Each structure stands twice: as C-alpha cells, then as structure tokens.
Structure 1
Amino acid sequence: MKRPLVESEEEKQSTQLKKRKKYDSGSTSKSPVPPREAPLWLLNMMREMNGYEPKLVIEKTLFKSDINRTLGRLAMPTNHVVEKDFLTATEERMIDEKCRLKTSDVDVVAVLVDPLHRKWNVVLRRWDMAKDSGNCSSIFVFVKLPLRFSSSSLAECKRRMKRPLCKRRMKRPLVESEEEKQSTQLKKRKKYDSGSTSKSPVPPREAPLWLLNMMREMNGYEPKLVIEKNLFKSDINRNLGRLAMPTNHVVEKDFLTATEERMIDEKCRLKTSDVDVVAGLVDPLHRKWNVVLRRWDMAKDSGNCSSIFVFVSTWNSIVDANGFKEGDPIELWSFRSQGRLCFAFVPPRRSSLCSGQCSSAL
C-alpha cells in the first residue's frame, strides 16, 4: 500500500482535485453526458400522444447487419446508450428475465413512431455475449422490426424533418400561453354549443325504467350507455359469431375499469394470452348469458389503426333467442353487479322476442 489506510483532510482534498481536473480535461467517452433537448418535431408529436419524459437513447450509424433482412434486428450496444434510465424497474426486470431464461414468454413490447406519424410495435430485448477474455458485452435489440422500416423510409423521414415547420403536421407549440389556452377552450365551447353531434361530447343518457328495475333486482349500479347501432349482416352471420362495436362509436367510454382495460389490451397484443374479460349480458325478459369482451385492432393501408370491441363466445345463441335481423336497432348498456361487469340491451320489439332459451346463467 502506497498510502495510509486513513487519509488526512489535505490528502482527501488533493485526491478530489485530481479527479475533478481529470474529469474537466478528460475523455468525452467516459464523462457523463448532459441531457439533450428534445427536437421540436418530437415535442409536438408527444403533445398529440399525451407523451412525457423524452430521453435520448442512442445516436448511431446503421451497419450492414442492422438492415439485413435475414437478421431483422437493430443493435444498440448498452455502453453507447446515452440516458440509461429510459426503462422502468419493471421493464428492466422483464428484459433481464427474458435474457437469462431464454424460454420466458415475457417481453417488453414498445411503440416505435417516426416523424411521418407511422407507428409500429417492436420487441425490446437484451443480448449478453461472452468474450474470449472472459468479460461480457451486452446490446439492446429491436426484434420483429416491420419490413416497412427500411433505409428508404428513414430517408423520407429525414426529408420530412428538414421541411419548414408550417408544412408539417405539427401546428402548435408544445407549451401554450394562457391566452392561447383560453382561445382554444372558447372555440371548443362554441363548437359544442352550435356544432356537430358526431364530434361534440354526449351528455349522459338516463337509463330506461326496465333497466333500472332489473338493476334493483340484481343490486346493480352505474348504468352507462355503451352504443346505439343498427345490426349489420356481419353481426348476425353465424360463421363469424360476434357483435362488432367500433370504439369510436362508443358513447360513454369509461364503462371499463382500469383492470379490465389492461386485460383486454393484453389479450389484444399477446394473442395467445388466456386472460379474458367475461361479462354478463341480460335482456328485458331477464334471460342471461355470459359473453367474452375483446378488442380487435385492424391496420389500414394508410398506416393508421382502427379498433372495435366484440362480443364473442355465445353471440349466436343471443341472436337466435332474440330473433335479430339485419338492420335491427339495438341499445347496449353496461352496469355493475357486485363489482362484476354486466351488459343489458334493448332488442327490437317483435313477437319472436319471447322465443328461445337462456344458454347460460350469470
């Protein structure tokens, strides 16, 4: 040992001064990198997506292996990551578990957005690679990259980013002044007072009397109007066996709890998940069924995505019991009974309403 185990105050100050000089003059690769300001196009996109906490993950030049269609992955060495705290503790644990166990079906699925507002789902993983020296190097990788995310699309993104701001989709700054906020609220209020019924917020409807009486018998509460629609031919097609409810036509969108939304989202993303939201469905004749509620996301040619809620499982039995026909108008309501999600609908009035049997009890 060249120095005594316990340093004097002067030695401590001298050591700290040497470290500080080394940091001030030293190599940029080892010194901590101050946070970069996010570019304006990203801030505006975050505003549209209600995003927060922008962090620079990496700056790199694409290698030949990054655009190799056979490999199909983007490599990001962990020692080149700029702001290393871009993952939450849960995401780090999931990535570590996937890296160690290999066979684990736990994956971190993220959304990748480009300046043209195109969106993809990507899987983020970490690969640990042993070296001959006995050390280990790690890289983050995007796998299951979409084919459209190619060098040509990146070049188009760069051209789009170089355009003047007035020609891009971002029209307002991220932070609005008080006057701009008041002006925006005034425009929204005028549009609501005078405006289109399709875009304006819909005030809560009063639940029909038969539903209130049924809820009283079932100790139900919180009635919400989910959707009003005319049945399409596909809704009564026995081969399809489902009722489609476009999410943008849902009237009161808060009919699901946070847990139910998470379960539906997990089922929609993972496909193989055995988690389902099973709800009760009741008609005015007090016949009851169990239905499975799911969400289907469908990509469009424009790159956007549309979503629909669907009833599956016992829908054909419900169609037979109520004698549904193409073009029939129905109202679908939701309510809670002892915490469980339930639905009730008003079928069209016809004599065949009284036929059919209940297929399963709540």
Structure 2
Amino acid sequence: MPPLLELINVTKHFKVTSGLLGLQSGTVRAVDGVSLQVEQGETLGLVGESGCGKSTLAKCIMGLEKVTGGEVIFDNKTLAGWDQKKLRRSMQMIFQDPYSSLNPRQKIGSIIREGLDIHNIGSKEERREKVNYLLQLVGLRSEHGNRYPHEFSGGQRQRVAVARTLALDPKLIVCDEPVSALDVSVQAQVLGMLKDLQTQLRLTYVFISHDLSVVSHISNKVAVMYLGRIMEIGPSKVLFKDPKHPYTQALMSALLLPDPTRQPERIALTGDLPSPMNPPTGCPFHPRCPQAFEKCRNGRPELMALDTGVQVACWLHTPSEL
C-alpha cells in the first residue's frame, strides 16, 4: 500500500532582491532536498531549531507554497494533479496561534461551518448538526457556537480550530506548532485530544514542533531538520533512545527527563545557525559539529538506512567510516 504522503527531493528557494530595480541579489534555500514518507494513520514529528525550514515545508505539503523542485505526492497523486478545492477536503492545517487563525468577527459556529458552506455539504439543518457534533467532539458545548473567539481561552480557541479542521473529514492534518502558544497543562489536554481523535477518526498527522517532549509523546516517527535538510529520520522510540546524528544528540541532551539521576550530559553547540542564503559546503552541520572531520567539510552526506530502521545523513555512519 503506497504512503498517504510522499515527498521526493522537495526544494523551496526564495529569491532575495535589492535596489530600485529589484535585481536578484541572492537565494534563500529554505527547503533543500527533503524526501520522506508518511503512512496512513501515523504521526510524523518534524523537529529542529527555529529557522530550519519546518513551517516552509508544511506550506509546501499543503500547496500554500509552490515547490522550486521535487514532488509532493498525496494519496497517490501529485499536488499539481489535484483539483485544489477537492484537495482542501482531504488535507487541512492547524496553525500555531489559535487567536489570529480565527476570524474575530465571526461566531464560532459560523467559523466551523464555513468549510461546509463553501463545499455545499449537506442541508442547512445537517450543517448545524455537524457543527454541534464537532463542538462536542473537541470537548466544547453546542451553545459555544453562538460566541465569538475573544470569549474563549487559548486552549478553547485551539479546540475550535481543531473542530474547524475536522469539518471536511480530512485524511491528513498538518499541525504547525499547535500547542506552543498554550500553557503546559493545556498542552497536555490538547495533545490528548489530538491522539484520541486520531484513533477515533483514523487521521494522519504531520506534527511540527521545537519541543522534543511534545514530539516524543505524540509521534510514531520523527524527522530532524537542519538548514532545510533532513539529518535523521526514524521510529520515535528508536530515535529518542539512541540518536545517531550529532545534531540529534545535541537536541536530545537538552531534553529534561522525569528522573534527575538519568539526565544526559548536555552537549553545547557553538556558533549560530548558518544563513540559508549562504549554506556551508559539505555537511550543513559541520561548522557546529563537535565530531566533524575533513570529509564533512567537502562532501554532503545523503540519508543512509541503518539496521535499527533509522536513516541518518552523517559521514560517521557511512560504511567506510564504521
């Protein structure tokens, strides 16, 4: 059975212009050759530092940004082959800020019903019943449909955003840091709700976050992104237990564990994230890598499968260096 979502060498470059004539002065390589697969019913967690290209990749998956190169294949069809209106019924997105993503002039019921109205799904009464059902599904009451977004807390607003996303019965939901703007206690509630909905409705998630504890809690598979490229990808339990790439190891070392006696030794990275306008030659991580050697500076490693089921782009794990 083919994967629900497949990315094949996806790139997204932005032109940088300057001067009165708007001449191109450079190129931002926001996404630089990403390939991955997401199976039906699983959750792919996408992690990395701010500015590594996670949100841009999410927009490429959704078709909100046209890719510079490569292909995005959804449900066995390239995005270009989809009718965009039909695509929106099968693929939805939850945004980071639950307040700015909701129209403050619309009542909650109208916000959730809008997709049903646009696609002309059901009668007026059936749409009203669907809205009430969705409100109850995300832990709200039917009467909440008559209120405005500003009357709700952040957690409740994000529940409304989830209800709106579910209105068209999508197969894939891209979650772009959906809990990062919420309090920790509310985060746990929303994450629990998302997991329950996934089981109940057979949903597939691409879950973007910079919080490793959140990603480990909700994801079946994790992809670690750095400077527009995938550094390591594999099953969540395997990757969190034994990370192979030095960048993944540095990220994991900052993760706080419940048992203070089991805290890993912190790996401090030197330097800042390089500019995507002028990425380093060779491995993009080598200027900050504590284990870099000459080959890292000259050649760019590709993802290589290991026996554990993890793929890693690192010269330390190529056959010639083992």
TM-score (norm 2): 0.21
Instruction: Say which structure, 1 or 2, has more relative contact order (CA 8 Å, 6+ apart).
Output: 2
TM-score (norm 1): 0.20
Higher helix share: 2
